[in-house]
Amino acid sequence: MNRREVMAGIGAFAGLGALSGLPAYGQDADIEVNLRDVWAAWKAANLDSSGRVVDRNQQNASHSEGQAYGMLLAVTVGDRLAFERMETWTKVNLGVRSDNLLAWRWLPDAPERVPDTNNASDGDLFRAWALLKASRKFSVPEYRELAKSIATDLVELCIIESPGSDATPLLLPAAHGFRTDSGFIINPCYSMPLAMTELATAFELPELALAARGAVDLQTTLARDGVVPDWVEITSDAIRPAQDFSFNAGYEAMRIPLFLIWSGLNAHPAVLRYAEAQARAPEGSAATVIDRKTGKILETSAHAGYKAVAALSICSAQNSVGSALPPFVSDDPYYPATLQVMTMIAQAKSAPMCFPL
């Protein structure tokens, strides 16, 4: 089987084919119109004039993740000026490595604004995906070349084969620091199947598509025993809690059902498990930390962004018509606000039946 055959098979697996039959209101032009006011509010709250996405709850820091998320939202709504500002700021301030990946954090008040040059693979993944989309939408070939370079470096530096007989490829959280004496540590939410398969298809990188499939399979395995946790260690004979990392389904793991639904995998077991837990949350709130073993809700929040992810998960799991997706709240912190805009996109693209009631 050649590379193109591999890519075609994996693309169909990842749910890409399911997206082609969406109704008209799930198309890009409609999303641009529907999100125009939401995007303006998000920018006013989280983006400064230089193109820096500011996380005010994290020391006013900026992260490769936040920059990449912002770029993806900008290209989705067709805001070329905002996209260019974010990409320029990102390249100048986080593009300090010798490869095409980004340093993961920038601190405005620290003596050294980039104290750690290690990358975060989810930030690099979303930046590459945003650049690929922007190359098409804004007709900038250079963006496509940069997206290819980033994706290629992710394959080279951040994809590792599982120990043991199956040797399944998975995406490491970063190029350094997550290998252990027994195996390696994985954050299941760092993999976004749709982004990985689109990049893999565009640039004929089967390793990236296989890692997407590996992530989806890992999430299936984890969902057999409960909600999918934030972090795990993978060894040759076990998937187990990672020392000093959260084994609950917390603020990181809530992206898993969102990314699966966005990828067309609405009935994935991880979505079902998450929805089951969210259905038990007190009225007017969403579960933000869920005990992996018992399913007990440990923390809740009334932020609209978290409630949006919960509502989309419940609707998708129950195959409902209409959902409890809340209106956008402009004064939510960066993270829930960003998740809410992403949830709106995922709903329009991949779960049209889950329109807000």
Q: What domain count does the chain have? A: 1
Query: Model's pTM, two decimal places?
Result: 0.94
Question: 228 lies in which domain range?
Answer: 3-16+23-354
Model confidence at 230: pLDDT above 80: yes
The 8-class DSSP code of residue 185 comes to E
d(CA 181, CA 186): 14
Higher per-residue pLDDT: 12 or 332: 332
Helix, strand, or coil here: 67?
A: helix
Q: Return the pLDDT at 21.
A: 32
Find the CATH number of the domain harbouring 221: 1.50.10.10
d(CA 231, CA 245): 6
Mean pLDDT of 94-118: 97
Mean pLDDT of the chain: 93
Model confidence at 331: pLDDT above 80: yes
Closest by alpha carbon to 151, among 173, 130, 132, 125?
Answer: 125
Model confidence pLDDT, tens digit, residues 13-66: 544 433 333 333 357 778 999 999 999 999 999 999 999 999 999 999 999 999
Give the lowest-confidence range in 1-10, 89-98, 224-233.
1-10
Model confidence pLDDT, tens digit, residues 273-288: 999 999 999 999 999 9
Give the lowest-confidence range in 5-9, 32-36, 117-121.
5-9
Residue 184's pLDDT band (cuts 50, 70, 90): very high
d(CA 81, CA 87): 10
Angular region, 60: left φ>0, alpha ψ -120 to 50, beta rest: left
